[in-house]
Amino acid sequence: MAEQILFIIFGILAVGSAICVIAFRNPIHSALALVLTFFSLAGLFISLGAYFVAAVQVIVYAGAIMVLFLFVIMLLNLGRLQTTRQINKAKVFAVIVGILLAAEAIYIGIKAYDGTAVSPAQGESQAVGAAITSEQLNRISEIESTYHLDRTEINSTYVPEVSEQKSTVETLTASEANLLIAKLQGEMGKPDRIGTILFTKFLLPFEVTSLVLLAALIGVIVLVKREDTDTAA
Partner 1 sequence: MSKDLITILLISPLIGFLINGLFGKWLKNVSGWIASLAVLISFIISAFFVFPAVRGGGELKETLYEWIPIRSLDIGFHVDALTTVMLLVITGVGFLIHIYSIGYMSHDSGKARYFAYLNLFVFAMLILVLGNNYLMMFIGWEGVGLCSYLLIGYWFDRKSATDAGKKAFIVNRIGDFGFLLGMFTLFAAFGTLNFDQMFGLAETNTYEQVFGASTLIVATLLLFVGAVGKSAQIPLYVWLPDAMEGPTPVSALIHAATMVTAGVYMVARSSILFNLAHTGVVVAWIGVLTALFAATMALAANDIKRVLAYSTVSQLGYMFVGVGVGAYTSGIFHLMTHAFFKGLMFLTAGSVMHAMADELDMRKMGGLKSKLPITYWTFLIGALAIAGFPLLSGFWSKDEILHNAWDGGHQIIFGIGLLTAFLTAFYMFRLIFVVFHGESRVDSEVESHLHESPPVMWIPLVLLAIPSLIIGAIVGWGGEHSAMHHFLESVKGFKHHGIADHSNPIPFMIISSIVGIAGILAAWFIYRSKAPVDEPTNPLHKLLANKYYIDEIYNAVFVQPIRGVSHYLFWKIMDVGIIDGLVNLTAFIIRGIGGSIRRLQTGVVQAYVVSMVIGIIIFLGYYLFIR
Partner 2 sequence: MALQYYLILSALLFTIGVIGVLIRRNAIIIFMCIELMLNAANLAFVAIGRELGDASGQIFVFFVMTVAAAEVAIGLAIIVSVFRHRETINIDEINTMKG
Q: Which of 36, 121, 137, 179 binds partner 2 (CB under 8 A)?
A: 121
**23 lines the binding site for partner 1 (CB under 8 A):** no
Helices (H), 50-201: 51-56, 66-75, 89-111, 134-147, 151-153, 159-162, 174-187, 191-200
* CA separation for the pair 172, 166 (Å, rounded): 7
* CA separation for the pair 120, 190 (Å, rounded): 21
Q: Smallest distance, Å, CB 79 to partner 2?
A: 11
* CA separation for the pair 67, 74 (Å, rounded): 11
CA quadruple 124, 128, 132, 134: dihedral sign: negative
**128 lines the binding site for partner 2 (CB under 8 A):** no
Q: Burial of 41 by CB count in 10 Å (0-12 exposed, 13-18 middle, 19+ buried)?
A: buried
State phi, psi for 149 to the nearest 5 degrees.
Answer: -100, 150
Nearest C-alpha neighbor of 126 from the set 186, 175, 187, 74: 175
**108 lines the binding site for partner 1 (CB under 8 A):** yes
Q: Please, which residue, 167 or 217, has the CB nearer to partner 2?
A: 217
Stretch that binds partner 1, among 10-18, 62-70, 102-110, 158-166 (CB under 8 A): 102-110
Q: Which of 67, 101, 131, 213 binds partner 1 (CB under 8 A)?
A: 101
**191 lines the binding site for partner 2 (CB under 8 A):** no
DSSP three-state, residue 173: strand
Nearest C-alpha neighbor of 57 from the set 72, 39, 73: 39
Q: Smallest distance, Å, CB 96 to partner 1?
A: 10
Q: Smallest distance, Å, CB 216 to partner 2?
A: 3
Q: Which of 13, 36, 52, 166 binds partner 2 (CB under 8 A)?
A: 52
Stretch that binds partner 1, among 71-79, 99-107, 142-150, 184-192 (CB under 8 A): 99-107
Q: Which of 74, 81, 106, 107 binds partner 1 (CB under 8 A)?
A: 107
Q: Smallest distance, Å, CB 223 to partner 2?
A: 4
Choose from partner 2, partner 1, none: what does 28 bind? Cβ within 5-8 Å by kind.
Answer: none
Choose from partner 2, partner 1, none: what does 145 bind? Cβ within 5-8 Å by kind.
Answer: none
Query: 212: part of which helix (H) or strand (E)?
Result: helix 203-224
Q: Number of residues in contact with partner 2, rule: CB under 8 A?
A: 81
Q: Residue 47's CB: how many other CB atoms inside 10 A?
A: 19
Choose from partner 2, partner 1, none: what does 41 bind? Cβ within 5-8 Å by kind.
Answer: partner 2
The residue ranges that bind partner 1 (CB under 8 A) are: 90, 93-94, 97-98, 100-101, 104-105, 107-108, 111
